[in-house]
Chain A
Amino acid sequence: MKTAKAIRVILTVAVVIVFLVLLWEGYKWMGQKTDDHWPGTNFGLPIATNDTIMPHFVDVITELNADIRDGRSTMPMYAFLLKKAWFTFQEAAIGFILGLTIGMSLAILMSRWKVSERGLLPWINVSQTIPLIALAPVVVTWGRNQGLSDLISISLISTYLTFFPVAVSGLRGLQSPDSAHVELMHSYAASWRTTLFKLRLPAARPFLFPALKLAGSLSIVGAIVGEISIGRKTGLGRAILEYALRYAIFPERLYASVIGAAFLGLLVFGMINLAERYFMRRTREVAS
């Protein structure tokens, strides 16, 4: 049963990818035939279909095998991207863990005292309106003056993006138990801590995991943005930026590096999905 389901998932993904590739190549083929107009009209296509703007999918995939020099060594592009992705993953992982810790701490604090919710929540919301380009130089300058590695500064930028969904959804989840359940805990004379661990945290899980999936993607985005703004040599963000600057000549490489970033995002998403299954399965067992 399990393998059948796995095969179904893989087949679905494969069909979607094939469909997208056909759509890409079909649109490109049409544009090349009609000189970038909708067939039979004078209306221009929204996106030009030449090899610079839309390289052939096959060329992008072939480029993944091209030799790239990275410092003193030369390797195929897929290996180069894997190496870069590993650095980005580390930055994102530190950012994610810090964001999770800070976000949950804030959520618990806010659920414990109503006054702290009133005091903190508006600021937590405001925090996300500060653009990263304003924040990044402050973080890196501060970090360097503290003697911190730029890796930590990038992780902090990633933290800044990840703590938000955790804090907001965490609070929502901690407040989610029915008043009947809370009153039951009261009638047992359960302490605040016991109520937190036995009732509120378990009840928060269905709220938390969607937020964690969002936070996981954001941690990657934060790490990539941080790398781009700080200019750290290692990492996918730097690769994407360098290929973006060379887009006119090597569009395939930019697309290839973006595919690398997408795979990293999917990987993190999958990891959080696995964690969710693990934690949620135990609820179902207890419930049944």
Chain B
Amino acid sequence: MKLKKMMRAFALLTAVTLFMTSCGSDDEASVGTGDCDSVDSVTLQLQWFAQAQFAGYYAAEDGGIYDNYCLDVTIMEGGVDIVPQQQLASGAADFAVSWVPKVLVSNEQGMNLVNVGQVFQRSGTLQVSWADSGINSPADMAGKTVGNWGWGNEFELLAGARQAGLDPATDFNLVQQGFDMLGLLEGEMDAVQAMIYNEYAQVLEAINPATGELYTADDMTVINWNDEGTAMLQDAIWADGDRLASDEAYQDITTRFVAASLEGWAHCRDHSDECVEHVLNNGSALGTSHQTWQMNEINALIWPSPDGVGMIDADQWAQTIDVVTNYGDLEAVPAEDAYTNEYAEAANDILDSKGISTTGSDWTRATVTLNEGGE
């Protein structure tokens, strides 16, 4: 009898709570609360495989954040021949994650894609050398063998070299490198490109034959293009410009998608271990310590976001265009409408109203220990 009474009281309490939450909010504030009349199916094209570089989207998907924004999101991983811009422009994807300079070049070739959320505020590209090579700044690359990935990854390097007074055509030996770190580890190159969240960590996961221990950060020197002033904006959320201009439903979906994705990124800032787990659950061949490292470094590329998460800094945008027009393959300065802060602003308002920090000003970098092979 007692139990039955308690059950009844509990049911009543639940009903009242539900009633209050459903009535207590007006339309504006109900975005992101899981109060859905209908659910929209959305596809997101990534640039590469599941890894912590995309943790925010996986966290939003697996952690139910997209559900709260009434979205059913399918995340499509990238491949060797998958160009996210192509997938987005052809309609095979509703949104895409890609680097700013790459999309600007695609736009110049006839696509109409709009940056609706600049997730990464900083560039993750480094030029890495052995500490004993004497390469501490771009000027030290003179006369050295310098590796680069090509495909537009080299623009920051070329701009940085020019700025240091070097002519990349004559003053050093620019060579194509692979996506592994063999060029550096086997000693074929003096300085190689590495993403701080991926290839740089690969070196730290390899055994130094001289010591029998893992390499350490002290074994390497690093040129960081953010410090040299030639960095370009990287991972951003892109939407289809034509649909954005004419399709109100798509505008509404974009608002919710950007807000939910950025909430996912805020979640990964505050719960990085959980996000590493989301990434590993989605099948990364890279090990736990590698993904933990990557998550930490990705957070450092996003946070702090002084203007709010996903907001585009006009100076950084201008610098990116400057580098890609002068050292890359962009012919002309793109039109102003290649980006908009409208959706990121709306997202920041929503996150603010939910009490989630949008700048991450108190985020601090963790210390991650890498294991051999990134396991």
Contacts and interface: CB of A to CB of B under 8 A. Distances in A.
A233 B185 contact: no
B82 A248 contact: no
A141 B92 contact: yes
Contacts of B49: 231, 233, 238, 242
A241 B374 CA distance: 17
Contacts of A241: 80
B82 A140 contact: yes
Given A141-B86, A242-B49, A232 B79 contact: yes
Most chain B beta carbons < 10 A, residue from A144, A238, A245, A247: A245
Interface stretch (A67-75, A103-111, A167-175, A199-207): A67-75
A233 B286 contact: no
A235 B307 CA distance: 42
Interface string B333-375: 0000000000000000000000000000000000000001110
Instruction: Kindly state the interface size class of chain B when it binds its partner.
Output: 35 or more
A249 B207 CA distance: 8
Contacts of A145: 90-92
A98 interface: no
Nearest to B205: A249
A133 interface: yes
A145 B92 CA distance: 5
Interface residues of A, number: 33
Given A246-B202, A248-B185, A250-B373, A71 B179 contact: no
B281 A231 contact: no
A145 B372 CA distance: 42
Interface string A222-247: 00000111111100001101111111
Contact of B79 (A71, A230, A245, A248): A230
A247 B180 contact: yes
Contacts of A228: 79-80
B283 interface: yes
Contacts of A72: 281
Interface string B34-59: 00000000000000111000000000
B78 interface: yes
Contact of B181 (A227, A231, A243, A248): A248
Interface in A112-165: 133, 136-137, 140-141, 144-145
B182 interface: yes
B77 interface: yes
A70 B79 contact: no
Given A231-B49, A231-B79, A233-B50, A242 B285 contact: yes
B86 A52 contact: no
A68 B182 CA distance: 23
A238 B206 CA distance: 22
B182 A231 contact: no
Most chain A beta carbons < 10 A, residue from B77, B372, B374: B77
A10 to B, nearest CB: 34
B157 interface: no
Interface of B: 48-50, 76-83, 86-87, 90-93, 179-182, 185-186, 202, 205-206, 280-283, 285-288, 372-374
Given A137-B81, A229-B82, 17 more contacts: A48-B186, A52-B185, A70-B283, A141-B86, A141-B92, A144-B90, A144-B92, A145-B90, A229-B81, A230-B81, A231-B76, A232-B79, A238-B49, A241-B80, A245-B180, A246-B202, A248-B206
28 contacts: A52-B185, A71-B281, A133-B80, A141-B87, A144-B90, A145-B92, A229-B81, A230-B81, A231-B48, A231-B79, A232-B77, A232-B79, A233-B49, A233-B50, A233-B282, A233-B283, A238-B49, A241-B80, A242-B49, A246-B202, A246-B285, A246-B286, A246-B373, A247-B182, A248-B181, A248-B185, A249-B205, A249-B372
